[in-house]
Amino acid sequence: MFAFFQAFITIVTALSPVDLAKALSSVLSIPPLKLDTSGRYEGDKVYVTTCFGLEFELLKDDPPMATYHLVVSSNVDDFDLDGSQPRIDGTAYVLKLLKRGGIDAAPRDPKLLYHD
């Protein structure tokens, strides 16, 4: 049985989106995060990659917030997940990796999350 993995992270940095995407790819040992050009995100500048069935999405928060958010989640389409699978909150794990790599990060404030 599969489980749905998700992690919601807020990142505080003075890095540009391109430089942060490079740093995250290095720290997390994932393929390069690249600016999405598919139109999937309706005009938002989102840096994306996939690795081991997980989607990584990096997006700069709207002003006045000077932060970014990183979402790591199971690729629902790849695994034909229907929502009945248990959820694994991987936030603590991803935070540990980021902090070990020197990236200032924290769990995302639940009030800022999109809800189903």
Digit-coded pLDDT (tens) for 37-78: 988 888 788 999 999 889 999 999 887 778 999 999 987 666
Give φ, ψ of 113 to 5 degrees: -80, 150
Q: Which residues of 65-103 are buried (b: 16+ CB within 10 A; e: fewer)?
A: eebbbbbbbbeeeeeeeeeeeeeeebbeebbebbeeeeb
Which percentage of the chain shows pLDDT scores above 70? 86
Residue 70: HSE in the Cβ half-sphere, 13 Å Cα cutoff: 30
pTM given for the model: 0.85
Domains in the chain with CATH codes: 4-112 (3.30.310)
pLDDT range class, residue 10, cuts 50, 70, 90: very high
Task: State how far the Cα of 48 lies from the Cα of 57, in Å rounded to an integer.
Answer: 5
